[in-house]
Amino acid sequence: MEAPLLEGGVDLIGYDGDYVAVKGLKSWWRLWCIESAKLWKIGGPIAFQIVCQFGMTSATTVFVGHLGDIQLSAFSIALSVVSTFAFGFLLGMGSALETLCGQAFGSGEVEMLGVYMQRSIVILLGTCALLSPLYIFATPILRLLGQKEEIAAPAGVYTLMILPQLCSLAITFPTQKFLQAQSKVSVLAWIAAFSLAFHILLCWLFVCVLGWGTTAAAVAFDLTSWGTAIAQFVYVVGWCKDGWRGFSWAAFHEVWGFLKLSLASAVMLCLEIWYMMSIIILTGHLDDAVTAVGSLSICVRVSNELGMGHPRAARYAVYVTLLQSLAIGIVCMILVLATRNHIALIFTDSQDMQSAVARLSGLLGITMLLNSIQPVVSGVAIGGGWQAQVAYINLACYYVFGLPLGYVLGYVANLGVVGLWGGMIAGVGLQTLLLLLLLYRTNWNKEVEQTTERLRKWGGQQIKSKIPINHGI
C-alpha cells in the first residue's frame, strides 16, 4: 500500500505512522526539516535551560575569580569536586523519572506523573541527608585526597556554605523531569532565564557593590537555586492539574523498586560526571596547584556553557540530532580556538591564569567537539534502557583507560595539566566511539518492541494497582 503524501509532494510517512524507506535527496531534505523542527521545538528550550543552569555556576565563578587566584581555585574545588560529586548523584537518581514519567505520559496515565515526582522528591531528600557529611567535612576530605592546605581550607568553608543549594536540587530535578515528560519546556526556559539574571544581579550587588566577597557569592548561589526550585514547584502545583492531583500517600509506596531504578540511572551518569571531578583532584597535586586547578576549572566552565515511537522514526531522529550537534560542536571549537587568548578574561584578572587557559585552548576545542556528540548517544542509551551496558563502557573507558593514561602523561611524562586533560579526552573519545558503534548496531524494531512492553508494564500495571492516587494529605 502506498504511503500518503506529505506536504511538499514527497512520500515519507506510511499508513502505520512510521517513515517509509527514504531515497533521494528531496526525501532526505524533507526528513531533515521535519526532524529538525521537532528537535528544536522541544530540545531548544531544554538546551537553553541547561545553559542557564550551568551559567549560574559560571557567573558565580566569574565574580569570585576577580577576587584572587586562591579564591578562584578554592571556590572551583568546592563547585567542581564536592558539589559536582553530589550533583551527579542527585541528577542520576532523578533521571529515573525520565523513564517513568515519559512512559506514564505516553500511555495516557498522566495522573501518575505527580505520584512519581513526589516519590522522587522523597528519595532525593533522603539522599541529600546522606550526602551532607561530604559538605560538612569537606576540608579534611580534601586534605585526605592530597589537596594543598592553601586550597583545601577555604574550599571546605565555601563547600559548607553551598550545602543549601544541594537540598534545592531535590525539588529542582524531579519538577524538571515532570515538566519535560509533558513537553512543557518553555516554562523551564523562562524560569531559568529569570533565575540567571537575578543571580547575576545578586552577585554584582553582594560582591562588587557591597564588597562582601566570596561568602556573599555562595549565599547568592543558594538563594537563586532555591528560587528556581520553588518557582518550578509552584508552576507544577498551580498550572499542571492533569499531572498534579495533590499530595498523595502513594508517594511512599513502592519506594524500593523506584530506588533501585534511580540507583541504576545514577551509576551510569555518575561515572561520567565524576570523571571530570577526578581529573581536577589529580590536578590539585601538581606543583603550581592554584594556577593548574583554576585554569582547568575555567575551561570546564566554558565547556559546560557552550521520542521513540517507530523504528525508522527513532533512527532518523537520532541521525539528524547527531549531525546538528556535530555542526554546533565544530562551530564552538572554532570559536574557542579563535578567542583562545581572551577566554579567561571574564573569569580572572591574573595574567598567569590567562596564559594557562590559553595553553589549554586546543584541548578545550577538542573537548567541545566531543561534547557535541557524546551527550546525544548517552541520551539515546538512557531512552533505550541501556544503562547497564553504558555503565560498563564508562567504567572501562574512563577509569581503566582515561584516568591512568592521564596520570602517566601528567606525572610520569611531566606534561602537567595538559597531560591530565589529554588522558581525559582520550577516555571520552574512546567512550564516544564505542557508543556510536553500539548505536550503529542497534536493532530499532526490537527497541520499539521493548519500549512498548515497558509502557505496558510501568504505565498500565501501575495505574491498575491498589494504591490510591487521590488520597491527599
pLDDT number for residue 453: 65
Could you tell me which of 245, 230, 271, 210 has the C-alpha nearest to residue 403? 271
SS3 212: coil
pLDDT number for residue 310: 39
Q: Containing domain of residue 97, as a range?
A: 24-463
- All cell numbers assigned to 363: 584541548
Phi first, then psi: give them for residue 68, nearest 5 degrees: 150, 160
pLDDT number for residue 346: 81
Question: Higher pLDDT residue, 197 or 22?
Answer: 197
pLDDT number for residue 260: 78
Question: Higher pLDDT residue, 208 or 389?
Answer: 208
- pLDDT band of 20, cuts 50, 70, 90: low
pLDDT number for residue 336: 84
Residue 184 lies in a domain: yes
pLDDT number for residue 309: 39
Residue 5 lies in a domain: no
Helices (H), 341-468: 351-359, 361-384, 387-394, 403-407, 416-440, 444-454, 461-463
Question: Higher pLDDT residue, 38 or 122?
Answer: 122
Give me the number of domains the chain comprises. Answer: 1
pLDDT number for residue 226: 97
CA dist list (Å): 436 to 347, 375, 414: 35, 11, 33
Residue 7 lies in a domain: no
pLDDT number for residue 11: 61
Could you tell me which of 58, 83, 218, 81 has the C-alpha nearest to residue 151? 81
DSSP 139-172: HHHHHHTT--HHHHHHHHHHHHHTHHHHHHHHHH
Could you tell me which of 48, 88, 61, 343 has the C-alpha nearest to residue 199? 61
Sign of the torsion formed by the C-alpha atoms of 442, 443, 445 and 447: negative
Give the span between the Cα atoms of 283 and 76, in whole angstroms.
12
pLDDT number for residue 464: 43
pLDDT number for residue 64: 92
Q: Supply the mean pLDDT for the chain.
A: 81
Angle between helices 69-77 and 149-161 (to 10 degrees): 60
| Residues 6+ positions from 12 with CB-CB distance below 8 Å | 3, 6, 19, 20, 22, 27, 30, 31, 34
pLDDT number for residue 13: 64
What angle is formed at CA 128 by the lines to CA 122 and CA 129, rounded to 5 degrees? Answer: 95
Rg for the chain (alpha carbons), in Å?
23
**In this structure, are residues 330 and 463 in contact, taking their beta carbons and an 8 Å threshold?**
no
Q: How far apart are the first and last CA of the chain?
A: 55
- pTM (predicted TM-score): 0.77
Residue 390 lies in a domain: yes
pLDDT number for residue 306: 61
- Reported as a single tens digit per residue, the pLDDT across 365-374 is 888 888 888 7
> Is residue 223 over pLDDT 90?
yes
> Is residue 28 over pLDDT 80?
no
- pLDDT band of 403, cuts 50, 70, 90: very high
Average pLDDT over residues 194-213: 95
- Reported as a single tens digit per residue, the pLDDT across 165-181 is 999 999 999 999 999 98
pLDDT number for residue 384: 62
User: Which run of H or E residues covers position 227?
Assistant: helix 213-239
pLDDT number for residue 456: 60
Residue 4 lies in a domain: no
The residue to which cell 559560571 is assigned: 58
- Reported as a single tens digit per residue, the pLDDT across 175-202 is 999 999 888 999 999 999 999 999 999 9
Q: Is 37 exposed, middle or buried (0-12, 13-18, 19+ CB in 10 A)?
A: exposed
Residue 470 lies in a domain: no
Give the span between the Cα atoms of 207 and 193, in whole angstroms.
21
Residue 311 lies in a domain: yes
- Reported as a single tens digit per residue, the pLDDT across 233-269 is 999 999 998 899 888 888 888 777 778 777 877 777 7
pLDDT number for residue 463: 41
pLDDT number for residue 35: 76
- Reported as a single tens digit per residue, the pLDDT across 313-329 is 444 556 667 777 788 88
**In this structure, are residues 360 and 299 in contact, taking their beta carbons and an 8 Å threshold?**
yes
- Reported as a single tens digit per residue, the pLDDT across 428-439 is 899 889 988 887
Residue 11 lies in a domain: no
Question: Higher pLDDT residue, 306 or 327?
Answer: 327
pLDDT number for residue 127: 92
